[in-house]
């Protein structure tokens, strides 16, 4: 991951994907927040429910070291990435992403390198919106077999849904 600064302010960049060639599902966020960038880990904010949900769904104990969390995903054939390769964003809120500065990751190349992926799960509406805006228009019919599923955001900013309700919805990834 490379963090860039441009003349307009801070530009956040995503991490490399967590994936193995045999992945069948992909979970997409929008772009790493400040704590994640600082820690160099996906979903590093302590109030983000992502890893607690994943470990519970996949039958692991919480807490787990980050390397073990990543291994848990790959062992279960789940990939993890972000829609955007980079964007300007004051703060960590997805609503603060400056669309004019945003550009997407190369999903065509990713899907070709991971041909077994059939399900794409969006971690929140913003990831889904960004994918629809920046990725879908450029994807060819070669990827028509992909099935998209909206999931509730695991962000602490999405406090309107309880952990139990999020867990119930996120259990879909194990199916």
CA dist 4 and 142 (Å) reads: 33
The alpha carbon dihedral of 36, 85, 125, 69 has a sign of negative
Residue 48 appears among annotated catalytic residues: yes
60-113 tens-digit pLDDT = 999 999 999 999 999 999 999 999 999 988 777 777 788 888 999 999 999 999
CB 78 within 8 A of CB 173: yes
What pLDDT is stored for residue 157 in this prediction? 81
Indicate the class that CATH gives domain 4-174.
Answer: alpha beta
Which of 154, 146, 144 has the alpha carbon at shortest distance from 30? Answer: 154
Question: Over pLDDT 90: what percentage of the chain?
Answer: 79
pLDDT confidence of residue 3? 38
Q: Which helix (H) or strand (E) holds 51?
A: helix 50-57
Asked whether 123 and 96 are in contact (CB, 8 A), the reply is: no
The tens digit of pLDDT for each residue in 23-61 reads 999 999 999 988 999 999 999 999 999 999 999 999 999
Helix 50-57 vs helix 163-170: angle between axes, to the nearest 10 degrees? 50
Radius of gyration of the chain (CA): 15
Q: Where are the domains positioned within the chain? A: 4-174
Here the tokens at position 58 are 């996949």
d(CA 144, CA 45): 34
User: Given pLDDT bands bounded at 50, 70 and 90, which one contains residue 11?
Assistant: low
Question: Which is the catalytic residue, given 6, 8, 48, 123?
Answer: 48
Question: Token pair for residue 53?
Answer: 């949900």
The pTM of the full predicted model, rounded to 2 decimals, is 0.91
> In Å, how far are 29, 64, 72, 148 from 127, measured between CA atoms?
5, 26, 23, 12
Residues in the chain: 175
* pLDDT class of 10 with cuts at 50, 70, 90: low
């Amino acid at each position: 991951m490379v963090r860039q600064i441009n003349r307009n302010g801070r530009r956040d960049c995503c991490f490399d994907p967590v994936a193995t060639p045999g992945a069948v599902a992909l979970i997409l966020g929008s772009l790493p927040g400040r704590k994640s960038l600082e820690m160099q880990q996906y979903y590093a904010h302590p109030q983000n429910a992502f890893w607690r949900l994943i470990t519970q769904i996949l039958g692991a104990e919480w807490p787990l070291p980050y390397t073990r969390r990543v291994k848990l995903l790959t062992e279960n054939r789940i990939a993890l990435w972000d829609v955007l390769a980079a964007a300007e964003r004051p703060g960590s809120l997805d609503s603060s992403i400056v669309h004019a500065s945003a550009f997407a990751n190369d999903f065509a190349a990713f899907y070709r390198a991971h041909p077994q992926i059939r399900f794409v799960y969006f971690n929140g509406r913003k990831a889904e919106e960004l994918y629809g805006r920046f990725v879908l228009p450029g994807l060819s019919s070669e990827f028509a077999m992909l099935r998209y599923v909206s999931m509730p955001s695991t962000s602490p900013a999405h406090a309107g849904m309880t952990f139990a309700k999020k867990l119930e919805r996120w259990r879909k990834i194990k199916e």
